[in-house]
């Protein structure tokens, strides 16, 4: 078992048989790793850049060697406290446990109209969405965050028109369909999360806002491949003054 370290205690450690059986890294091995990283970063690949400084360049090299030894000692002690693979990343592995939930309510009214082979459906719908996240504090390193919990409420209203028509495409039946509409968003359209590092002031992380006004466009076609199978492809778009969302979707529906 390893004793925890504090600001006033000296380095101490108890060795158990399990720890004695583990492979260990000493100060020289850790210093070699640090020096290897420095060489890999290109420090020793540009002596010409240091030549104009004369003897000061040699002092800089000696200083880097001392710094490498000190950093190697830091890694050696960290490896003793937390014998895990992954280098510096293993010494600051942050974890947190929290819960989040979403509540959605949706309702729609529509009225179908038929004119020859064309069908029309004016519609209006409303959707309510609530997203709640608990607050939490990360554990495992100096970069741990404390995140404030919160709740966001949004309501969407959409008014539009659906239309469709059927026609023959060779020996197969096909249905062309489309939608045009206007959507308005109310409530917390800009998501913000308040966070803070340990011992520092809180700050906010703000996500991309949801557009308050946007136009909806859909167009697609369905093919009756067999009496019980339908293949469809459609385009779906949402266009606002500050953002656009476009997508293509393919569906295969089989009825039993």
Angle at CA of residue 102, ends 252 and 219, nearest 5°: 35
> What's the half-sphere exposure (Cβ side, CA atoms, 13 Å) at 230?
12
Residues written for the chain? 256
pLDDT for 34-59, tens place per residue? 666 655 455 554 566 666 776 776 77
Helix axes 27-40, 55-81, angle to 10 degrees: 130
CB 163 within 8 A of CB 182: no
Closest CA to 178 of 251, 236, 244: 236
DSSP 3-state of 153: strand
Chain CA centroid to CA 207, Å: 11
Within the chain, how many helices (H) and strands (E) appear? 4, 12
pTM above the 0.75 mark?
A: no
CB 155 within 8 A of CB 187: yes
pLDDT for 92-104, tens place per residue? 667 888 889 999 9
d(CA 139, CA 114) in angstroms, rounded, equals 62
Q: In 10 A of CB 211, how many CB atoms?
A: 19
Closest CA to 209 of 242, 246, 247: 242
Alpha-carbon distances, residue 233 vs 17, 163, 177, 239, 248 (angstroms): 65, 16, 10, 20, 7
Task: Note the pLDDT of residue 48.
Answer: 63
d(CA 34, CA 56) in angstroms, rounded, equals 22
142 — alpha (psi -120 to 50), left (phi > 0) or beta? Answer: alpha
DSSP 3-state of 29: helix
Identify the segments of the chain with pLDDT beneath 70: 1-51, 54, 57, 78-93, 141-142
DSSP one-letter code for 7: S
Closest CA to 106 of 138, 77, 130: 130
Task: Note the pLDDT of residue 2.
Answer: 41
Tokens at 196, concatenated: 């803070």
Closest CA to 252 of 235, 228, 236: 228
Task: Note the pLDDT of residue 217.
Answer: 96
Strand order in the sheet with 145-147: 136-137, 145-147, 192-197, 203-206
């Amino acid at each position: 078992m390893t004793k925890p370290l504090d600001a006033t205690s000296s380095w101490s450690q108890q060795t158990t048989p399990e720890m004695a059986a583990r492979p260990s890294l000493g100060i020289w091995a850790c210093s070699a790793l640090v020096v290897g990283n420095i060489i890999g970063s290109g420090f020793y690949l540009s002596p010409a850049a240091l030549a104009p400084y004369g003897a000061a360049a040699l002092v800089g090299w000696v200083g880097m060697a001392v710094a490498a030894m000190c950093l190697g000692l830091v890694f050696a002690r960290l490896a003793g406290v937390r014998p895990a693979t992954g280098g510096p990343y293993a010494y600051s592995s942050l974890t947190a446990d929290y819960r989040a939930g979403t509540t959605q309510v949706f309702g729609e009214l529509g009225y179908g109209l038929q004119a020859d082979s064309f069908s029309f459906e004016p519609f209006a719908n409303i959707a309510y969405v609530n997203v709640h996240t608990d607050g939490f504090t990360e554990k495992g390193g100096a970069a741990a965050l404390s995140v404030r919990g919160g709740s966001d409420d949004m309501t969407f209203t959409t008014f539009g028109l659906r239309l469709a028509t059927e026609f023959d495409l060779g020996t197969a039946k096909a249905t062309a369909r489309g939608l045009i509409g206007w959507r308005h968003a109310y409530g917390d359209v800009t998501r913000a999360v308040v966070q803070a590092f340990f011992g520092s002031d809180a700050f906010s992380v703000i996500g991309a806002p949801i557009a308050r006004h946007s136009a909806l466009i859909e167009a697609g076609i369905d093919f009756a491949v067999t009496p019980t199978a339908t293949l469809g492809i459609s385009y779906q778009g949402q266009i606002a003054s500050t953002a656009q969302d476009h997508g293509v979707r393919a569906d295969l529906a089989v009825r039993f």
